[in-house]
Amino acid sequence: MDLHNNAIGRQVAKDNPDASPQELATKLIDKAANGELRVLDKDGNVVKSFVSKEQVKTANENVKKLDEYGKTKTQ
């Protein structure tokens, strides 16, 4: 599972060398929403990711709060 997800992350970064951390995070959120990542279910089985529309919305809102280094912006 981790190796699969890491490979997806590396490929996204490779395919988008000029992307900001926020742009990369958004692309990975989309991959999670599309079931392209792997997670553990309640029984410990590796399964395709499932992310609800509400979770995608929340994740994207949180990404907007990051600075250019991918850290939470200070006010």
Going residue by residue through the chain (75 aa), what tens digit of pLDDT does each one get?
999 999 999 999 999 999 998 999 999 999 999 999 999 999 999 999 989 999 999 999 999 998 887 788 775
* pLDDT for position 75: 58
CA distances from 29 to 15, 41, 43, 44, 74 (A): 16, 18, 24, 22, 23
pTM attached to this predicted model: 0.84
* pLDDT for position 66: 86
Tokens at residue 20, please?
């900001």
